[in-house]
Structure 1
């Protein structure tokens, strides 16, 4: 009788193969999933916006084939040299998308700033609304720069208060019209929008205020019952926006088109107008760049994206960069790109500093560094 060794009731390798196979499949699936998720993450937009260096434009040069600034009237203009560049920032639009990879790369670029999109735009704002606001700011900047330059040169520039928009459901609907000139409120003469706001603020919501206006050159009085402000019932409102208008003694045409916007070119516009109307050169033949919002009184205000504007100016060869005083700390926090960073608080400051540097490139002027 032969003896047959007992056989296992199963092949030991049979049970092992599926185990190895499952582990292998698990590893492969996990790896593929990770790769796919990584790719998706890099492709999907994130709720951030980027601020990058934008182009620069010489206010003493041409724009789209014609002089950026031209002045006419009973006045002499003078030749200029060098450049007075206004700087820009390229910003993600409200409906633009920034991918994860783009945001990640931008994060490590010292010349690019990454910020939450709602830091730049109110919730729900469209690209069209943003562009309209930017265009309005540019228009105001053009007016303010002309007024500031002419006043710095000693010209009298009268200011008027005009009605801008009238809310359809506001207190002034059917009473005031866009373009009306406001001369006085309750007998108090007003010459600036702020004076008009202050005059209305003297009453209690529900009280009547009387506006002395001119419409198409015809004076008239308009009585308006004030209403409480939506965000503060203690404040009276008449449901209009106010704007300043000016009677310029010279014709100043600013030919910057709609490819740029915002208020930050104002200081450079004003300097160019001043340079064109005075003998000699503010630049000393050098390329000067800068930024800063400007008021009709010539006060220079802070702006956004100063580091990006500095990088753009450097790429265009600027040697001097004019920085609003309130932006100095940010401007000095990083590479100065070899440029002289001049601190300015008013148009007069900018003029005197540039005149000093034109006479002596090593002159001591207010600086951010």
Structure 2
């Protein structure tokens, strides 16, 4: 999954109170290494040698507890199914006494809902993260978050719901205005770069997904004066 969609999904589920658990995830695999064609990017690592894993660091520690040539058993969650994969520890290029699995591991997430994006697969990129998260939140909660408002916005998002700055903010605001939006969600870090931009849009300052949700709710209730803005 595109990283912006993955982050947006996790942030939206958490904002909606849906349980999300963290697990180590295979980020990349050295095809010529011991895990080539055995472990796959995206695999969630549940256990190594029967020991439950909760952090990426746990995986490395367990691998290094072996000797080069040992069999290491990974229990992984792949496309919703639990499976076991056995690899043979190889020697590190930096130190032949250190065993390696030939993978990089990062933070991953496990949750029950299945989320798909019914939009063009080419619509990706970090700056779409906030809008993706709002769309997911709107679909999984009972309230009609957007109601009749035409809301635009931009900003990266991380799994904890923090909104980050993006480039070309002035151009994006003008594009949203041209397309009929009345509200534009601006990452807090971008407010200083707007300057004296001439626009009729309500420029709402947000630092987190929860702030964006609260701002839209206030606007729908007619309490726009309580909404934080840029400038």
Give yes or no for the alignment of 1:351 onto 2:217. Answer: no
Choose the corresponding residue for 2:148, options 276, 285, 288: 285
Map 1:184-263 → 2, pairs under 5 A: 190-191=53-54, 195-196=55-56, 200=60, 208=64, 213-215=74-76, 217-218=83-84, 223=89, 225-228=91-94, 239-242=102-105, 244-263=107-126
Tell me which stretches of 4 or more aligned residues in structure 1 moved more than 6 Å. 185-188
Contact 1:324 1:345 in 2 (8 A): yes
Partner of 1:301: 164
Partner of 1:153: 16
> 1:265 deviation in Å?
1.4
Partner of 2:39: 177
Residues 184, 285 of structure 1: alpha-carbon distance in 2 compared, 3 angstrom cutoff = same
Residues 187, 303 of structure 1: alpha-carbon distance in 2 compared, 3 angstrom cutoff = farther
- Which protein has the larger Cα radius of gyration, Structure 1 or Structure 2? 1
Partner of 1:109: none
Distance 1:368 1:297 in 2: 23
- Structure 1 alignment gaps of length 5 or more: 1-135, 229-236
1:276-323 CA-to-partner distances (Å, cap 9, x unmatched) read 333443335221100112222222222222222112111111111111
Distance 1:302 1:227 in 2: 39
Residues 198, 264 of structure 1: alpha-carbon distance in 2 compared, 3 angstrom cutoff = farther
Contact 2:38 2:87 in 1 (8 A): no
> 1:189 deviation in Å?
5.5
Moved more, 248-257 or 317-326: 248-257
Contact 1:166 1:176 in 2 (8 A): no
Give the aligned CA root-mean-square deviation in angstroms. 3.4
Distance 1:222 1:334 in 2: 62
Contact 2:145 2:216 in 1 (8 A): yes
Distance 1:175 1:250 in 2: 28
> 1:150 deviation in Å?
1.6
With structure 1 as the length reference, what TM-score do the two structures score?
A: 0.50
> 1:241 deviation in Å?
3.8
Choose the corresponding residue for 2:175, options 312, 327, 349: 312
Distance 2:20 2:211 in 1: 21
SS of the residue 1:261 aligns to: coil
Partner of 1:360: 222
Map 1:1-369 → 2, pairs under 5 A: 139-168=2-31, 172=34, 174=36, 177-179=39-41, 180-183=43-46, 190-191=53-54, 195-196=55-56, 200=60, 208=64, 213-215=74-76, 217-218=83-84, 223=89, 225-228=91-94, 239-242=102-105, 244-330=107-193, 332-369=194-231
- Structure 2 alignment gaps of length 5 or more: 67-71, 77-81, 95-99
With structure 2 as the length reference, what TM-score do the two structures score?
A: 0.75
